[in-house]
Amino acid sequence: MNSISTSAPPAATSNAPLYWMALGTFAIGTEGFMIAGMLPTVAHDLGVSAAVAGQLVVAFTAAYAISSPILTALTGAINRRGLLIGTMTLFALANLLAWQAPGYTALLLARILLAMAAGLYVPNAMALAGALVAPERRGGALAIVSGGLTVAVALGAPLGVLIADRLNWRMTFAGVALLAALATLGLLRGLPPGIGAHLPVASLRERLHVAGNARVLQGLLTTLLWATGAYTMYTYFAIYLNEVAGIHGAHVGYGLLLWGVSAAVGVMTGGRLSDRLGFARVSTPALWFMMASFLALSVVAYTLAPAHALAPVYLAMIVWGVSAWAFYPAQQARLMNIAGLKLASIVLSLNASFMYLGFSLGAAMGALTVATGSVREVGFVAAAFVAAALWLLRGALRKEVPQAVTA
């Protein structure tokens, strides 16, 4: 791997640049996850159905999945510092457009623009984080920057729902725009000029070559199915809480906070257990528990009245949050084991794209389920996708050998 520009040495004496980049990932994660919790309010305010409002999630996640690898490859010659500052500025402006969107179509277009900015920022921030520090500190640097997304899941998304309840949903976009503006200022001050000038970026041909390996592709499809199941449920979970548990307004935010904290616990424990026990002993049970939690959510919806559904729904939420996000670091470790260290950055970037593609498919499947049936059936549909991911994973693990693929 080429070294970064010699005009600015690695910032080994301070983690400040990493924290500014993490503020950017926090803003992106907050905007990306908060919309699902506000879906009933947004749908009512814009005069569209819940299924149509759900396309706001489909548009963002699909645009992210498709644009991220393409734009990252096309902008490989641009200085990383300038690219991060530019994309975070664009992200702030796009949030202002969403804040002032006069109708559904304008909001949809703003979310596509948000996704394109986010899809450029996140992988480049991760790459630069690893280049800013000495090799023995790269794991910690990546943890700081990616931690912004984890904190967004745990705190940013439920906070957005609470702001939407106290003020209105538009103010959440204004708040994220302010976060993005602060991150932009931090990047301007915290990243030395010329940093990351010679940071290599994989071409589209290299990405397609890695994705074409059968074992890598099987792993990426497992991620796709896992993510599809997760977002089939998550996108319409606020509506589920409305109808099944009688939870509305700020209480939806409290429910998402419980889920988010569980997800954060899952990420941390999943990574540590994967290191200690091996990824197979984490990913397989995680998918079993995740599937069971989705089945439980639909069973509760059909068998219990709202007055009695709250406790089992919250229990299923905790199991879902922990198991779903414990799977993700274990899956990353598995893909790195398949691809080898030389191709790790490419395969992890592809994994993120397949995850967001799965999020998009899940949001679309949730919309189809709600439009043609009932939100009570969403858990069954989500569980079916997780079952498919489990079937694919178990079949792959029986055949996998520890050697990495060749470049």
Structure tokens at 363: 């949001």
Range 232-251 average pLDDT: 86
Backbone angles phi and psi of 9, in degrees to 5: -70, 160
What burial class does residue 363 get, using C-beta atoms within 10 Å of its C-beta: 0-12 exposed, 13-18 middle, 19+ buried? buried
Q: What is the mean pLDDT of the chain?
A: 84
pLDDT at 136: 61
Alpha-carbon span 221 to 155, nearest angstrom? 29
Q: What are the pLDDT digits (tens) for 83-142?
A: 899 999 999 999 999 999 999 999 999 999 999 999 889 888 887 876 676 666 666 676
Instruction: Decide if 93 contacts 110 (C-beta within 8 A).
Output: no
Of residues 136 and 305, which shows the higher confidence score? 305
Q: What are the pLDDT digits (tens) for 262-297?
A: 988 888 888 788 778 888 888 899 999 999 999 999
3-state class (DSSP) for residue 217 = helix
Of residues 2 and 391, which shows the higher confidence score? 391
Backbone angles phi and psi of 278, in degrees to 5: 100, 145
pLDDT at 69: 85
pLDDT at 96: 96
